Structure formats: structure tokens, C-alpha cells
Amino acid sequence: MIIVDDISSGYGGEEDIIHDISFSSGEGEFVGIIGPNGSGKSTLLKSIAGILNLSKGIVNINDLNISKVSPKEMAKTLGVVPQETAVSFDYSVFDIVMMGRHAYIGRFSQESATDTEIVNQAIDKCNIRHLAERSVKEISGGERQRVIIARALAQQPKVLLLDEATSHLDINHQMEILNLIKGLSGVTKIGVFHDLNLASQYCDRLILLNKGKICLSGLPNEVITQKNLSEFYDINAVVAVNPITKKPRIVSLIESGEKSAKKLKIHIISGGGSGCEIMYALYECGHELTAGILSIDDSDYSAARSVGIEVLSVMPFSPPDGAILAKLSEVISQSDAVIVAGMCVGDSNIVNIEALSMNNNIPVYLFGEFSDFTSEKKLPDTLGAIANGIYYSGDISGLCAKISCK
């Protein structure tokens, strides 16, 4: 377990870079440190590692004050993978990884069979066996990064600090190494991340730094939100949910730079993902959007919620009741336009389209292809009953432009 208690530190200047930092992390936990450039992430990691002197506070690892332990004891306790992995001397990869055993080998002793076995295990875990006899100066930056990670694993540390440990790796090796690190049972992992999607997927908890202080700490879905991305990173993005891991996933929005001259109220009827792109495009135009009725397990529901769209919703496999149908009719009546996205239409969701026949003064844009799965094959008649129905055959940007010019 590591306890960081009210630490401040810097680089020897008049002012500290990080201020009043406190947090703890349990055995086996993977904590991600995130924040905008210049927020103090690497400084925090160097302070925990004892590389920078603390102006106040203490760091304890398993009840050991790191400022009072010997370098050898520190090496057995703490492993560090730095951001910069350049090596000045022409050692073999195997020898570099063996350096991780230095704290366990006596001053005038040779490495033991146990040391060699541990080094070989670290080499195999990082998938660098084919590099073992190569000079570390002859391999690529990504390969060298895996060598440095293997060296840290050979230390058998209780805490592993990683400063952008996968920044030079291609995507398959990023996933390979992060899966390996996450799976290190009994080892506390603290890593600095610039890639927020990687931090979200692999970390148990995130700490967000800004201007040298902790601003937020919590589960990934508590820290990575659209509001926080806007406030701390000044970016326009949506936060969706990875359908497999259920962790937040950031999807950047391309700024068109063109907002609609008139802000319209637009209701979107869709399902099965047919409305996602339309929602994002209209959101970018600055319109006030509503959506539904949608099941809460529909991908369109997740897309709408991710950009703060008000959604009329029902539980999965539950037909809409009278109250929500009345709310739908009210929302439609207050809209300037309605878009119905092409989708599979059955007995449970055709009520969304039927509600349009009761609001004859509102333009309705029918976009995309529809499939009729109703028991009585009544979709054509239902679409035909929409008095102001307009079939639009262009692309989404054209649809948005047409509506915005209303």
C-alpha cells in the first residue's frame, strides 16, 4: 500500500510545482494520473519516486518512509518506468533487464540462478525474447520501452510507477503491456496517462491534476465526463460507454465552426443506432434536441445521453405507457421540426411515428431506409398519414443544413 500525505515539491526554484497532494492506493490497484499539459503529472511521479525532494509531506510504502530508506531498499520496493528511455551505454537487452536485479546481488557476487530465472520471466512477459542478445542501442524506441518495463518487473517491486509507459508503442504492444501491468497481482500501479481512453479502460481509479493540485479523484466514469473534458482540457467531445467494458470512451467531435443562425427545437425519432450521427451533427449546429421514445439499452439512448440530450425512455422490452406517450406528444408539439431516422419498426416503437399524425403543423423529415416488422404491416400507412412528411435523400450534413435554414 502507498500513502501520499500532503506533499508539495518542485525543481529547486522559488515555487513548488505540485501542492498539497494526498491520496492512497491499495495493493494491486491501478491508479491513473491524468490532467492537461503542465498540470504536474510527471512531477508528482518523480516526487513519489524520491527523485525530487519534498518541500513538505511524506510518502509511505508499506509503512516505509521513502525519504529514509537506502537506495537498495528503495529499488526492492519501487520500480520506475520513465518517460525517456534512452540508454547511454552499449549493453545487451539481457544485461539491461538484469540491472533490475542489482539490489538483490551482493557487491562482489554474481547473479544467481534465481536472478537469471526472474530476468528471463520478465523478458518473456514483455515479449522481447528475440531481442535478448541485441544491443540496446540498435533497437527501436518502442522496443527499448518494453526493455525498460522488463527491467522494472525484474526488480519485483511492491509499487510500480509508470510515466507514459506505452507512449512509444504501437497499439497491439500498448494493449499487451497494459494487460500485463494490470494483471500484476499484489503490485500497486500508478501511471501517468495522456491517452484518456487507455486510462479509462485500464485504471481502477483516476486522479485528475490541474495547476499542480488534485481537482478530481474517483472511478473512470466519475472523472471522465463531458463537463470535465470541457473544463480541464478545453475540448469538445462526447463521452460514450464502451459496450463491452462499460468504461467511458471519449469520442472527439470535429468542430465545423458553423453554428446555426437560429437555434431550433428538434425532436429525433430513431433506434438501433440510426440516430447517433444525426444527433452529433445537430448538436454541433447548436440546436436544442430531444429524442425518443427509446429503450435504455438502445445505442441511440447512450449517444443522446452522452451529449446531454433529453431522452424519453422506457425499460428494455417494456411498451410505452400512456404517461410517456402523452409526454412524447407534448415534446413534438413544442418542436420546430422532427427527424425520423430510418430504422426497424415494430409494434413497440411504431407509436413514436403514430404520434406525429396528431401534430400536423410541424415539418417531419424522413431520413434513411425503414423496415416494417409490425404484425399488421402498417408502417407505409403510418408514414403516409404524416401530413408534413418530407422524404430527404441527401446526406446528413445536407439534412442539417436544410433544417437549419428553416
Q: What are 157-205's pLDDT values in tens digits?
A: 999 999 988 887 888 888 888 998 998 888 999 999 999 999 999 999 9
Residue 93 has pLDDT above 90, yes or no: yes
Residue 368 has pLDDT above 70, yes or no: yes
Instruction: Tell me whether domains 2-223 and 265-405 share a fold.
Output: yes
Query: Residue 55's pLDDT is what?
Result: 94
Distance, in Å, from the CA atom of 345 to the CA atom of 374, rounded to the nearest integer, reads 7
pLDDT band at 251 (very low <50, low <70, confident <90, very high): confident
C-alpha cell at 214: 488534485
C-alpha cell at 262: 437560429
Domain ranges within the chain, ordered by starting residue: 2-223, 265-405
Residues 357 and 351 sit within 8 Å (Cβ to Cβ)? no
Q: How far is CA 379 from CA 270, 274, 321, 392, in A?
A: 14, 17, 20, 18
Residue 249 has pLDDT above 70, yes or no: yes
Average pLDDT over residues 280-288: 87
Distance, in Å, from the CA atom of 149 to the CA atom of 162, rounded to the nearest integer, reads 9
Average pLDDT over residues 378-399: 85
Distance, in Å, from the CA atom of 10 to the CA atom of 13, rounded to the nearest integer, reads 7
Q: With CA atoms as reference, report the closest residue to 30 among 154, 197, 162, 153.
A: 162
> pLDDT averaged over the chain?
90
Cα-Cα end-to-end distance for the chain: 61
Q: Could you tell me the CATH superfamily of domain 2-223?
A: P-loop containing nucleotide triphosphate hydrolases (3.40.50.300)
Query: Residue 365's pLDDT is what?
Result: 93
Query: Residue 334's pLDDT is what?
Result: 94
Length of the chain: 406
Residues 320 and 294 sit within 8 Å (Cβ to Cβ)? no
Whole-model pTM: value is 0.74
Q: What are 16-26's pLDDT values in tens digits?
A: 999 999 999 99
Other beta carbons less than 10 A from residue 238's beta carbon: 21
Strand-strand pairing, 30-34 and 205-210: parallel
Distance, in Å, from the CA atom of 105 to the CA atom of 399, rounded to the nearest integer, reads 71
Between 276 and 405, residue with greater pLDDT: 276
C-alpha cell at 25: 492506493
Residue 77 has pLDDT above 60, yes or no: yes
Helix (H, G, I), strand (E, B) or coil at 160: strand
Query: Residue 43's pLDDT is what?
Result: 95
pLDDT band at 11 (very low <50, low <70, confident <90, very high): very high
Other beta carbons less than 10 A from residue 347's beta carbon: 12
Query: Residue 406's pLDDT is what?
Result: 60
Residues β-bridged to residue 366? 340, 391
Query: Residue 26's pLDDT is what?
Result: 93
Between 129 and 261, residue with greater pLDDT: 129
Query: Residue 42's pLDDT is what?
Result: 94
pLDDT band at 253 (very low <50, low <70, confident <90, very high): low
**CATH of 265-405 among 3.90.950.10, 3.40.640.10, 3.40.190.10, 3.40.50.1220:** 3.40.50.1220
Count CA atoms within 13 Å of residue 32 on its CB side: 27
Distance, in Å, from the CA atom of 201 to the CA atom of 183, rounded to the nearest integer, reads 13
Between 135 and 254, residue with greater pLDDT: 135
C-alpha cell at 120: 528471463
pLDDT band at 241 (very low <50, low <70, confident <90, very high): confident
C-alpha cell at 166: 506505452
Helix (H, G, I), strand (E, B) or coil at 14: coil
C-alpha cell at 42: 510527471
Helix (H, G, I), strand (E, B) or coil at 325: helix
Query: Residue 351's pLDDT is what?
Result: 94
Average pLDDT over residues 94-117: 92
